[in-house]
Amino acid sequence: MTEPHRHTSHPAIAKRLKRAEGHLRSIGGMLEEGRPCAEIAQQLHAVQKAVEQAKRVLIQDHMDHCLSTPAPGPKVLQAALDEMRALTKYL
């Protein structure tokens, strides 16, 4: 079994996602209550932005801590480039 992959930013990201999860649950309640669509759309937008920001922080932190070390050889450099290419689909 491999060691957990953790960065110092992970607790803050988890906190942000839990807050977004709570907002998302409240949106379900807003729908059940028949709240105006503009209010619901505003809250959905807030949840979307919170998730996007969490993703951005996670990817930037990964780049800073996992991809920025000097590569000892072309194979390691190629692996880092491949990983970065894989990450870009989530941007």
* Number of domains forming the structure of the chain: 1
3-state SS class at 22: helix
pTM score: 0.71
pLDDT band at 87 (very low <50, low <70, confident <90, very high): confident
Is 4 a domain residue?
A: no
Residue 9 contacts residue 53 (beta carbons within 8 Å) = no
Q: What is the pLDDT of residues 36-84, one digit of tens each?
A: 999 999 999 999 999 999 988 888 888 777 766 655 667 777 777 787 7
Domain extent for 26: 10-88
**Whole-angstrom Cα distance, residue 24 to residue 43?**
8
pLDDT in tens, 5-36: 788 889 999 999 999 999 999 999 999 999 99
In angstroms, the CA 1 to CA 50 distance is: 32
> Tell me, what CATH number does 18's domain have?
1.20.58.1000
